[in-house]
Structure 1
């Protein structure tokens, strides 16, 4: 293999590895957050996340479902190669969710949460860009 071919192949491989790492991290964080919001009793949840005690239980549970769907959607379609374009849509959804979450938390003066939201926003944008244009996953052929 020539040096030129190796240099050309390396960025693509590094990009794909970076995308998988980002997808796994987003999946872990969103799935965990979703399960916590879905399964934890509201009084207990309000002790961890004060905003959950100030909104209806239905609202909190719906946010939990959205988190869970984003976490599963960012990884499983790409991993199984079944409708992998759904990963791009999940990345878009995670991006929008983080923009809204940042605005929500900043409006409440919860600046301690925004660094995590910014990291998740950056990861979601990276997956959106990478899986949408630069390293899309081919669908499985049945």
Structure 2
């Protein structure tokens, strides 16, 4: 189970890193032309960049606290935050009629739920 939790956290960290880099460094106008990012055309640049930075922090928070053994409780806390972010993302994609992205958000949400459950519970870093 520990290995599967690491894999799930790693996958989520990769997704967060990719999303965070694009939202932080790709111009909002260019993002708005990409599949699944139509919403960025309606959002302020500051909001998009803030989400990007939060995703970069999530990528770090899902892995580094456990690897460095510094406040490893931040791993499941970050997973819970990712769940909240994915709820917002799913609602946004649902409004835009992008069902495949809603499904993808729900997969990420489920993975984050698994990480949160596993790291708060049976495979806690404090136990």
Q: Do they fold alike, i.e. is TM over 0.5? A: yes
Does structure 2 retain, via aligned residues, the 8 Å contact 1:74–1:87? yes
Correspondence for 2:27: 41
Correspondence for 2:61: 73
TM-score (norm 1): 0.84
State the Cα RMSD in Å. 1.3
Which structure 2 residue ranges, 5 or more long, are not aligned? Answer: none
Residues 38-67 of structure 1, C-alpha deviations (whole Å, 9 max, x = no match): 000122111111111111100110111111
Residues 88-128 of structure 1, C-alpha deviations (whole Å, 9 max, x = no match): 11011001111121112112212121121011001100000
Q: Which portions of structure 1, spanning 4 or more consecutive aligned residues, are displaced by more than 6 angstroms? A: none
- Equivalent in 84, 90, 98 of residue 102 of structure 1: 90
For 2:32 and 2:125, locate their aligned partners in 1 and report how far apart those are by CA, in whole Å: 40
Q: Higher helix proportion, which one?
A: 1
1:51 pairs with 2:17: no
Which structure 1 residue ranges, 5 or more long, are not aligned? Answer: 1-14
Correspondence for 2:17: 31
For 1:93 and 1:40, locate their aligned partners in 2 and report how far apart those are by CA, in whole Å: 24
- Equivalent in 91, 96, 102 of residue 79 of structure 2: 91
How many residue pairs match? The answer is 125
Does structure 2 retain, via aligned residues, the 8 Å contact 1:81–1:138? no
Structure with higher Rg: it is 1
TM-score (norm 2): 0.93
